[in-house]
Amino acid sequence: METTDATLVADAREGDAAAFAALAQRHLAGMRATAIALLGYTDDADDAVQDALLTALRQITGLRDPEAAGPWLKAIVRNNCRMRLRSVRRATPVADPEPLLPAGGPRPDEALDRAAERDWVWHALGTLSEPVREAMLLRYFTDYSSYQRIADVCGVPVGTVRSRLRDGRRALTATLRATAESYPDARVSVSARAEAEATLAAGSRGDHADLFGGRFRNAVLTLEGRPIGGARALAGMMDYTYGAGVQVRLREAVAGAGTMVWETEFVNPPDDPEHCPPGMVWLHALHEGRVRTLKMAYARAA
């Protein structure tokens, strides 16, 4: 007897990667037909389907009628296609699609964690090349998710960001399908938050031992895509910031597969409310437990 969509949805919500993969495979042909009907036989049609699968993975806990999984998946594809069509009509090179999650909804990392985010997903991310992995993490796990912001952090053109995300979606979707049976229900343990908080606390005290002798010792830093030096440059930035009475607070931290991302916000002193921009993203590339490169970019004021 064939497993029903409702059963597959229930199992996927509990973190069963194989169940989600089976659900996706069952409806893949219908999803692709929907995309082709709107976009034709184009690469954009394939991208719309692959992006829909990643969106479904994050949002499956919000599916109200598990028996309607097929129409739900097709609706996600249609939305993706419409966003692509609107982007083409606007004909602007830096256009960015609408948010992947509804306004006021859960953050992508929260939704993934409640649905099917497991070692399965982090393993799949680990198979991507470093530039593609960085773009995917920024896009789907942080608030620095627009094409322009990702370009600012990585120091590359917006067109390069688009191609990296396209490559990443295709490769990630293929890997998730191929490895689902190997990752039925195993959560990843991420220590990025504790490390970020410890580093910021040490910086506020002027204690830079970890920067000079620890994980950041040989790190190469860039700010908005421009090289600025190494650990001593980071220490100098921290001393300048904290010395001006600015507080640095951690908002989010995610890590996996040799890449770690921190999002911080600045709280300026009352007598100098414009001293620092609203926040910063820190994109770390790790090698053997140490930070090899650290790419930073400021948040833009709303």
> Greater confidence, 159 or 145?
159
pLDDT tens, position by position, 81-109: 888 777 655 444 434 443 333 334 444 44
What is the CA 93 to chain-centroid distance, rounded?
22
Query: At 219, which CATH number?
Result: 3.10.450.50
Whether 61 and 126 map to the same domain: the answer is yes
Based on the structure, what is the number of domains in the chain? 2
Average pLDDT over residues 240-269: 88
Mean pLDDT taken over the chain: 79
Whether 141 and 249 map to the same domain: the answer is no
pTM of the model: 0.57
Domain-terminating residue out of 123, 152, 182:
182
* 56 belongs to a structural domain: yes
> Which residues constitute the domain of residue 209?
192-298
Residue 14 has φ and ψ, to the nearest 5°, of: -85, 5
Whether 65 and 206 map to the same domain: the answer is no
* 171 belongs to a structural domain: yes
* 60 belongs to a structural domain: yes
* Structure tokens given for 109: 């990392």
Q: What is residue 251's predicted lDDT score, i.e. its pLDDT?
A: 87
Q: What is residue 246's predicted lDDT score, i.e. its pLDDT?
A: 94
Q: Which of 82, 194, 99, 185 is nearest to 140 (CA)?
A: 99
CA dist., res. 250 & res. 193, Å (int) = 8
Q: Which residues pair with 223 in a beta bridge?
A: 226, 296
Q: What is residue 240's predicted lDDT score, i.e. its pLDDT?
A: 93
Whether 91 and 221 map to the same domain: the answer is no
Whether 65 and 166 map to the same domain: the answer is yes
What is the CA 202 to chain-centroid distance, rounded?
27
* Structure tokens given for 147: 């094409």
* 20 belongs to a structural domain: yes
* 187 belongs to a structural domain: no
Q: Tokens 């597969």 map to which residue?
A: 257
Whether 164 and 94 map to the same domain: the answer is yes
Whether 166 and 206 map to the same domain: the answer is no
- Count CA within 13 A, CB hemisphere, residue 269: 8
Q: Which of 66, 54, 286, 89 is nearest to 170 (CA)?
A: 54
Whether 198 and 250 map to the same domain: the answer is yes
* 154 belongs to a structural domain: yes
Domain-terminating residue out of 155, 182, 209:
182
* 76 belongs to a structural domain: yes
> Greater confidence, 161 or 209?
161
Query: Could you give the 3-state DSSP secondary structure of residue 148?
Result: helix
Is residue 257 over pLDDT 80?
no
Q: What is residue 180's predicted lDDT score, i.e. its pLDDT?
A: 57
Q: Which residues pair with 250 in a beta bridge?
A: 264
Query: Could you give the 3-state DSSP secondary structure of residue 256?
Result: strand
Whether 196 and 149 map to the same domain: the answer is no
Whether 150 and 28 map to the same domain: the answer is yes
Whether 157 and 252 map to the same domain: the answer is no
CA dist., res. 57 & res. 76, Å (int) = 11
Average pLDDT over residues 180-206: 70
Whether 259 and 169 map to the same domain: the answer is no
Domain-terminating residue out of 182, 207, 223:
182
